């Protein structure tokens, strides 16, 4: 697709036209063709807020109830702990959860804060669902805390005091990234020295620093209380780590206890002391600070290697220009240095008695006071809010390759926080929350607007580090509240042009791309189109969806393997323990909803239903846990798989989206046309819709998907058109009755039944939705199939690790329905047997081993249990004779089936697959088959 103008030009045009009406068309596109790459006519629809759709009793409500209990009971201060620590605020004794969210989380905790955003979104949705005060209270607590954290980040940190070894001391809170910066002149020129201090480590974090004096990673001397082996170590070098001259202690320092540490250098000898006892000596040291030349930094607590900042207590820190004797160091155990014969350090002496302020005062008389500062400086903009320093955002701007130990998707985390505070604002109307959201957008704009398109393209193309999730969606939602032009411009800075242009051309470039890094991009593009009118955004989103559904879709609706897309049509070969990342399903549903709002096509509702009823409901375990949401990350689809509902200690991306999923099951049940004249029913779901614009309530009673029927009852009077989706999976017998009277239906499966009338209180609409069993083959291996009973994915409860063979054609009906193969299990809804194989719905959140796919084996040609005595041979490509016959189902009568068998068997005879005698036996068998459908 040719680019007619640059992105920034497009965004300027979009900003100028933001107050104009959205592009609309009165025509629904529900019946328009679905050729890949072809844009449908527009059908501008609206959804309903969660608060206007109440879940009724049933499967989704039961799943939601478990998540609501988790939401009510979980202490929000645990999630706020990392934000407060980063802002050096009291953490109230809270301990962050394990996994990705803690200071000790994977990759240095570089994703912490994301779960807090998910949690706030869950609370907002829970409040919309229930109106319970507890959710409002928790949200307001979190808003107030995050607002306080942002304020603290924008003011100078203040020294905190604690009980010390000889009185008061200073303490540095873990996660605050604070250190003391002394004048470098204190160290310069020292040929002999003694450093001594009392320290109280609060965590055994490797490579933190008591001090680090030097220029960079090549030239420095440092003391760490915990090296890679957990031991105290002194080192000095002028040629990097490999050339260090070291002194290593004998045993780890105790945690949360005061220990006295000292280092002496004199001549060619150095010694390390702990609590007055020499624990290490090196008699072959040729380096001293003087040998290193003029140094730039004299840091207490900070490392030149970007290691974690030391956290804990400091007391009586001294530096002498001579080497104290062992006896002098021993006496430092009993009194401050100034009160011993050694006297205060002549280079600096900090008694650490400060009760606040930003300076450690030098008591040596040299005036070398140490400033208190964050290792990463100050926020670049007052709107910055995160649970870690701004460093990750800064580093990303110069990165060329992925390294999630340095930078792990900071804009992804920013998205989750932004979405969370925005949802909180829309729930509570607390203006502080909108201020937080607007400030975050202002801050992002201040950074990204200064970068060239080349830098932005490079950033967004970096796997993992450049992932930004649904940030565009959240920015545009913020813009709808603030109407700040820079917020609309900001949304356009997240354009990965090569991907967008390829998808707009309908060029499939997804193979090898990180799935969840890219799916949310297209939801943002779909929304950005509404504000800018840039056609390639809409075209790209439209085409991308079709690159995933169905060629990269598993039977449960999910996509991806090992977090990645693979080549189109690869499904059977990807069935393993890391298939179908749940975040991908979550984001595909958000994209699907966005596309439906624009195009109104039933195929979107069809996919939404499949994925919601199967992967999303099945991603929530049917158990309660006060500590974890119990949702899946990956969904194993290999034979004998077992679902893991507690991956990585409970705070992964998928458990975050899992909290959101379980509090918005009714999100896409109903839609309405822009002019409020037409109501769409997309999901058959026990629920009540409050349609405020028309003064009507529509109550839907059903136990779907446990039964294939639903009743809608109208409360109130209004004239409108009711559109009921006719699912593609529906069997013979679909019917609609209004007040008991059967309605003529011309709509086919995959379309909508339109019922226009003046509705009055008490009117009922009964919908019969017969389920039938069908087997869906995978594109890359037609013999590997999954079973769908209506909209429900059936799995085999079985621990075997090889595909289970199943035969189904022998009992098939003329409609193609395979349900006669199912034997219902008494008193167990949607549980069946086929022979000795027990089938159950995937949505049951158990930890039993299962098979989501089976091996289709139809060794002989059989019609309605009549065996032709002929092998069911296979053509090139894997399709069998019976596959080709039944591909044309449904058949209106037995004659249509017989004619189909005659035509296909004649073709296979001509190709030499069957003999004439075999064809006669096939025709005889189909003729004798009863087929009373």
DSSP structure string for 289-329 = GGGG-S-SEEEES--TT-PPPP-EEEEEEEEESS---HHHH
Whole-number Å distance between alpha carbons of 630 and 847:
11
Are residues 760 and 781 located together in one domain of the fold?
no
Distance of CA 261 to the CA centre of its chain: 45
Question: Considering Cα of 613, then 618, then 620, then 623, what sign does the dihedral take?
Answer: positive
**746 burial level (CB within 10 Å; 0-12, 13-18, 19+):** exposed
Nearest to residue 316, comparing CAs of 344, 355, 342?
344
Give the pLDDT confidence score for residue 210 in this predicted structure.
Answer: 98
Indicate the SS3 state at residue 432: helix
- Does the bond joining 873 to the residue before it have cis omega, within 30 degrees of 0? no
Range(s) of the domain holding residue 189: 160-374
CA distance 187 to 295: 8
Residue 544 lies in a domain: yes
Report pLDDT for 649.
80
Could you give the number of structural domains in the chain? 5
Do 752 and 780 belong to one domain? no
Closest CA to 204 of 248, 258, 273, 252: 252
| 155 in any annotated domain | no
**For tokens 């004249």, what's the residue?**
677
CA distances from 175 to 84, 107, 308, 618 (A): 9, 15, 9, 37
Same domain, 836 and 879: no
User: What token pair was written down for 924?
Assistant: 């005889």
The last residue of one of the domains, among 717, 732, 766, is 766
Q: Are residues 439 and 565 in the same domain?
A: yes
Is 379 domain-assigned?
Answer: no
Cis peptide before 143 (omega within 30 of 0): no
Instruction: Report yes or no: 206 and 226 within 8 Å, Cβ to Cβ.
Output: yes
Share of the chain residues as helix, strand and coil, in percent rounded to the nearest 5: 35, 20, 45
- Rounded to whole angstroms, how far apart are CA atoms 87 and 97? 18
According to the model, what pLDDT value does residue 876 have?
A: 80
Contacts of 4 (CB under 8 A, 6+ apart): none
Q: Which residue has the tokens 């069908």?
A: 774
**Model pLDDT, residue 41:** 57
Nearest to 596 by CA among 32, 21, 63, 3: 32
Cα 801 to chain centroid, rounded = 30
Q: How far apart are CA 688 and CA 713, in angstroms?
A: 9
d(CA 758, CA 438): 45
What tokens were used for 332?
Answer: 């430092």
pLDDT for residue 878? 80
State the pairing for strand pair 718-726/678-681: parallel
Tokens of 40: 């449908």
Q: Which of 605, 628, 661 is the last residue of a domain?
A: 661
Q: Which two tokens stand for residue 666?
A: 């009714």
Q: Is residue 2 part of a domain?
A: no
Query: What beta strand segments (E) does 445-564 contain?
Result: none
Q: How far is CA 906 from CA 866, 879, 911, 914, 919, in A?
A: 20, 16, 9, 9, 8
Angle (CA) 162 163 166, round 5° = 130
Strand order in the sheet with 45-47: 45-47, 670-673, 678-681, 718-726, 751-759
- Count of alpha carbons within 13 Å of 580, Cβ hemisphere only? 27
CB 818 within 8 A of CB 808: yes
CB 198 within 8 A of CB 273: no
**241-259 core/surface letters (b: 16 or more CB in 10 A; e: else):** eeebbebebeeebeeeebb
**Do 87 and 191 lie in a common domain?**
no
- pLDDT value, residue 25: 28
Question: What is the DSSP pairing of strand 259-266 with strand 277-282?
Answer: unpaired
- Positive or negative, the CA dihedral 734, 738, 744, 746 is negative
Is residue 339 situated within a structural domain? yes
Three-class secondary structure assignment of 254-278: CCCCCEEEEEEEECCEEEEEECCEE
Q: Is 59 within 8 Å of 843 (Cβ atoms)?
A: yes
CB atoms within 10 A of CB 63: 24
CB atoms within 10 A of CB 503: 29
Domain boundary among 831, 857, 883: 857
Q: DSSP secondary-structure letter at 615?
A: I
361/411 same-domain check: no
Q: Residue 323: how many CA atoms within 13 Å on its side-chain side? A: 16
Structure tokens belonging to residue 170: 């200073």
Question: Per the structure block, which two tokens stand in for 883?
Answer: 């596959």
**Integer angstrom CA distances of residue 383 from 151, 387, 435, 592:** 9, 13, 9, 32
Tell me the two tokens of residue 462.
């970096």
| Structure tokens, 468 | 């930004």
Q: Which of 79, 44, 47 is nearest to 656 (CA)?
A: 79
Q: What is the sign, positive or negative, of the torsion defined by CA atoms of 75, 79, 80, 85?
A: positive
* Number of helices and strands in the chain (H, E): 23, 39
| CATH number, residue 675 | 2.60.40
Taking the chain, what is the end-to-end CA distance rounded to the nearest angstrom? 52
| pLDDT block averages, 10 residues each, the chain of length 933 | 37 35 31 48 87 97 98 98 97 94 92 98 98 98 98 97 96 97 97 98 96 97 97 98 96 97 96 97 96 97 95 98 97 96 97 96 97 96 98 96 95 98 98 98 98 97 96 98 98 96 98 97 97 96 98 98 97 98 98 97 98 98 96 97 91 97 98 97 98 98 97 98 97 95 95 98 98 96 96 97 96 93 95 97 98 96 95 88 94 94 95 95 95 71
The whole model's pTM is what?
Answer: 0.93
Report yes or no on 381 lying in a domain. no
- Regarding whether 614 and 564 lie in a shared domain, the answer is yes
CATH number at residue 229: 2.60.120.200
Phi, psi of 778 (to 5 degrees): -85, 150
8 A C-beta contact, residue 203 and residue 253: no
What is the distance between the alpha carbons of residues 120 and 659, in angstroms, rounded to a whole number? 10
CA distances from 182 to 213, 217, 347, 383, 580 (A): 10, 18, 11, 30, 53
Dihedral sign, Cα of residue 436, residue 442, residue 445, residue 450: negative
Please give the full DSSP string across 675-717, using - where no structure is assigned: TS-EEEE----SEEEEEGGGTEEEEEE--TTSSSEEEEEEES-
Does the residue 712 lie in any domain?
Answer: yes
Residue 477 lies in a domain: yes
Same domain, 650 and 575: yes
Asked whether residue 309 falls in the same domain as residue 424, the answer is no
Check whether residue 573 and residue 493 sit in a common domain: yes
Which of 476, 617, 628, 626 has its CA nearest to residue 557? 617
- State the Cα–Cα distance between residues 419 and 839, nearest whole angstrom: 40
Neighbours of 405 (CB within 10 A): 10
In 813-908, which ranges are E strands? 823-824, 832-834, 837-841, 850-851, 854-856, 860-863, 866-871
Q: Give how far Cα 14 sits from Cα of 488, 491, 528, 598, Å.
A: 8, 11, 9, 18
CA 55 to mean position of chain CA atoms: 25
- What's residue 879's pLDDT? 87
Distance CA(218)–CA(239), nearest Å, equals: 5
Specify the pLDDT at position 3.
Answer: 32
Same structural domain for residues 841 and 868? no
Closest CA to 454 of 505, 372, 398: 398
Closest by Cα among 650, 514, 631 to 584: 514
pLDDT for the residue 650: 84
**840: Cβ contacts below 8 Å, ≥ 6 apart:** 794, 795, 797, 828, 830, 831, 850
601 with 626, same domain: the answer is yes
């Amino acid at each position: 697709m040719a680019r007619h103008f640059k992105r920034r030009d497009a965004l300027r045009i979009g900003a100028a036209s933001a107050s104009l009406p959205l592009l609309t068309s009165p025509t629904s596109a529900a019946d328009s063709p679905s050729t890949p790459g072809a844009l449908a006519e527009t059908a501008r629809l609206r959804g309903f807020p969660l608060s206007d759709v109440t879940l009724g009793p049933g499967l989704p409500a039961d799943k939601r109830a478990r998540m609501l209990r988790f939401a009510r009971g979980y202490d929000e201060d645990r999630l706020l702990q990392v934000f407060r620590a980063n802002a050096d605020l009291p953490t109230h004794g809270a301990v962050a959860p394990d996994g990705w969210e803690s200071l000790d989380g994977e990759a240095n905790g570089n994703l912490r804060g994301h779960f807090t955003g998910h949690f706030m979104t869950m609370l907002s949705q829970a409040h919309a669902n229930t109106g319970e005060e507890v959710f409002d209270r928790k949200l307001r607590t979190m808003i107030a805390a995050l607002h306080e954290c942002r304020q603290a980040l924008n003011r100078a940190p203040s020294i905190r005091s604690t009980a010390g070894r000889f009185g008061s001391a200073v303490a540095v809170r873990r996660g605050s990234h604070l250190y003391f910066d002394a004048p470098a002149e204190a160290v310069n020129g020292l040929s002999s020295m003694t450093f001594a201090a009392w320290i109280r480590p609060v965590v055994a974090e490797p490579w933190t620093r008591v001090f680090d004096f030097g220029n960079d990673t090549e030239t420095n001397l440092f003391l760490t209380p915990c090296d890679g082996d957990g031991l105290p170590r002194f080192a000095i070098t002028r040629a990097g780590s490999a050339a260090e001259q070291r002194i290593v202690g004998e045993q780890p320092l105790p945690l949360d206890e005061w220990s006295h540490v000292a280092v002496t250098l004199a001549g060619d000898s150095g010694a390390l002391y702990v609590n007055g006892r020499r624990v290490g000596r090196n008699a072959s040291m040729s380096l001293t600070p003087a040998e290193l030349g003029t140094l730039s930094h004299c840091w207490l607590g900070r490392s030149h290697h970007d290691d974690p900042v030391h956290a804990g207590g400091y007391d009586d820190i001294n530096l002498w220009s001579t080497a104290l004797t062992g006896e002098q160091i021993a006496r430092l155990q009993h009194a401050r240095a100034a009160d011993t014969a050694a006297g205060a350090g002549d280079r600096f002496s900090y008694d650490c008695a400060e009760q606040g302020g930003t300076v450690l005062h030098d008591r040596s008389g040299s005036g070398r006071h140490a400033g208190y500062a964050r290792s990463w400086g100050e926020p670049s903009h007052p709107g910055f809010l995160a649970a870690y320093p701004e460093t990750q955002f800064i580093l990303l701007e110069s990165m060329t390759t992925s390294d999630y130990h340095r930078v792990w998707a900071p804009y992804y985390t920013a998205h989750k926080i932004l979405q969370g505070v925005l949802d909180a604002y829309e729930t509570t109307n607390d203006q502080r929350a909108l201020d937080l959201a607007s400030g975050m957008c202002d801050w992002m704009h201040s950074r990204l607007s200064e970068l060239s398109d080349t830098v932005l393209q490079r950033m967004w193309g970096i796997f993992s580090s450049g992932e930004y999730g649904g940030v565009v969606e959240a920015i545009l939602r913020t813009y709808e509240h603030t109407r700040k032009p820079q917020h609309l411009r900001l949304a356009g800075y997240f354009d990965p042009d090569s991907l967008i242009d390829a998808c707009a051309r309908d060029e499939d470039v997804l193979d090898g791309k990180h799935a969840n890094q890219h799916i949310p991009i297209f939801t943002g593009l779909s929304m950005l189109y509404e504000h800018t009118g840039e056609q390639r955004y809409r075209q790209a989103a439209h085409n991308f969806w079709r690159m995933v559904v169905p060629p990269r879709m598993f039977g449960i609706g999910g996509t991806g393997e090992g977090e990645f897309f693979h080549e189109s049509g690869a499904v059977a070969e990807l069935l393993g323990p890391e298939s179908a990342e749940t975040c991908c399903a979550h984001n595909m549903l958000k994209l699907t909803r966005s596309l439906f709002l624009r195009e109104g096509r039933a195929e979107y509702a069809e996919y939404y239903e499949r994925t919601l009823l199967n992967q999303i409901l099945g991603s929530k375990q049917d158990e309660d846990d006060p500590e974890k949401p119990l949702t899946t990350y990956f969904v194993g689809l290999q034979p004998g798989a077992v679902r893991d509902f507690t991956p990585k200690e409970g705070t992964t991306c998928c458990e975050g989206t899992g909290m959101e999923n379980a509090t918005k099951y009714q999100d896409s049940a109903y839609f309405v046309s822009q002019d409020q004249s037409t109501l769409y029913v997309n999901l058959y779901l026990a629920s009540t819709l409050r349609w405020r614009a028309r003064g009507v309530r529509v109550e839907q009673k059903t136990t779907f998907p446990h039964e294939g029927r639903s009743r809608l009852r109208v409360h109130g009077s209004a004239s409108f058109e009711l559109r009921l989706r006719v699912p593609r999976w529906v069997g013979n017998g679909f019917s609609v009755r209004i007040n008991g009277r059967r309605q003529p239906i011309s709509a086919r499966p995959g379309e909508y039944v339109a019922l226009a009338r003046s509705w009055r209180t008490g009117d009922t609409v009964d919908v019969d939705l017969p389920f039938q069993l069908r087997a869906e083959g995978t594109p890359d291996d037609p013999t590997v199939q999954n079973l769908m009973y209506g909209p429900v994915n059936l799995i085999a409860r079985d621990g075997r690790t090889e595909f289970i063979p199943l035969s189904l054609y022998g009992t098939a009906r003329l409609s193609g329905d395979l349900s006669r193969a199912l034997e219902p299990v008494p008193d167990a809804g949607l549980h069946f047997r086929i022979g000795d194989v027990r089938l159950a719905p995937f949505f049951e959140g158990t930890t039993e081993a299962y098979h989501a796919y089976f091996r289709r084996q139809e060794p002989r040609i059989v019609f309605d249990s009549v065996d032709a005595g002929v092998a069911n041979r296979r053509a090139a490509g894997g399709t069998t004779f019976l596959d080709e016959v039944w591909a044309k189902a449904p058949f209106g009568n037995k004659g249509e089936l017989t004619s189909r068998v005659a035509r296909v068997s004649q073709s296979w005879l001509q190709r030499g697959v069957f003999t004439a005698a075999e064809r006669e036996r096939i025709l005889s068998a189909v003729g004798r088959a009863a087929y009373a459908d």
